[in-house]
Every structure is written in structure tokens, then in C-alpha cells.
Amino acid sequence: MARRSNRRWRQPAAVAERCPWASIDDWMVIPMIRLRKLLADDVATIAGWPAYPPEFEDLDYSLRNQGWLAEYSQRPNTWIFAVEQSGRLIAFTILSKTRDTEAEFRIALRADVIGQGLGGIITTETLAKGFGEIGLSRIHLIVRKNNPRAIRLYRRLGFTERGECWKVINEKCVHFLEMDVLRECCATHPMSKA
């Protein structure tokens, strides 16, 4: 006889409600995550997170004192979400308006949760907040061209490549893809199994 776990498990609400093409088989079963407003105490916690592994070391600046939280926290029309799993802060996401109904998306995960399938679930939940509660019609991002795992994830979630750009990050010239997703595409685009 199988024993029941006392943990609560669920398919993310954004998947069930806003992505009708996805089944529970498309997602790993994970403990529930919760997005909430980022608090001042969270910033210090994030700054103390362990460094990213060598594969992602160029992204580590985003977590530190002069990183994304410092850059975006004072911008008007910006929402910064803390992401908790089982009461533990594991990620944060940012939506920052660039036009009336458009926003830029950013995501940072704690190093020890990378590769567990959480990026897609957290991104989907953030898109749901952006398109639903905030009322955005378009969400866009830039992703490093040397990050194929993230590019595949964004494509699976319905993001489309719109161009390329170069930016100077920590005195290095970095090549990015520009991608976006529209509210109507997010609700109808079938997610690939790849």
C-alpha cells in the first residue's frame, strides 16, 4: 500500500488556468511555490545566497548589492516578487513597465535550485501575474545567447525571438537575444514537449 505524503503538491495555477494545452505530465511534481512582494529583509538574504557555479558565474552580479534589486527597486511601475518554496526564499522575479501595457521580465534563482525545473514554473506564475493582475499585453526579456537552456525554456513558454543586442555588463560586452510573449499568445500557444 502506497503511503501518502503530508506535503501538499499541485500543478501551478498558471499552468492549470492559463495554459490549457499543458497537462500535469508536462511538469515535474514539486512542492508548491508562492510569489509575494519582495520585502526589505529578502534583499539581504538574496545578497547572501551562494555564488553561481562556473557555468553561470557571469550572472552572479544580479544577486549582489549593486545588482538587479538595486537597479530596479526605485523604478516606477516595477513589481519585484520573492518566490518561496516550502517557506524558503528560492528566487525572485521582476516585471518593470517599459510602455503602458508592456514590461521587461527578469528572473534569478538561488544557485542550489537551478536545474530542478523551477524556472519554468516561476516564469509561468510571473507571466500570469503580469497578464492577469497587472494587465500587461506584452512581456519581453533579454537572454544571453550563450545560455541555451534558458532560451529553450522561454521558447517552450511561448516567447518569440525578436532580435539581438549587445550590452556592456561588468565591463564585458555580452550578446543577447531579445524575446517577447503576448498575452493572447501565452493563452493559446501549445507548449512543446522538447
Query: What single letter denotes the amino acid at residue 131?
Result: F
Q: Tell me the pLDDT tens digit for each residue of 86-128.
A: 999 999 999 999 999 999 999 999 999 999 999 999 999 999 9
**In the predicted model, is pLDDT for residue 177 greater than 70?**
yes
Q: Which CATH class is domain 13-140?
A: alpha beta
Min mean pLDDT across 17-21, 67-71, 161-165 is at: 17-21
Q: How far is it, in rounded angstroms, from Cα 50 to Cα 46? A: 9
What's residue 186's pLDDT? 74
Q: How far is it, in rounded angstroms, from Cα 193 to Cα 63? A: 31
Task: Please name the residue that has the C-alpha cell 549587445.
Answer: 166
So where are the chain's domains? 13-140
**In the predicted model, is pLDDT for residue 190 greater than 70?**
no
Nearest to 101 by CA among 72, 59, 132, 73: 132
User: The C-alpha cell of 150 is what?
Assistant: 534558458
What DSSP string runs through 161-187? EEEEEEEEETTEEEEEEEEEEEHHHHH
pTM of the model: 0.82
What is the rounded radius of gyration, in angstroms, for the C-alpha atoms of the chain?
A: 17
Q: Is 13 left (phi over 0), alpha (psi -120 to 50) or beta?
A: alpha
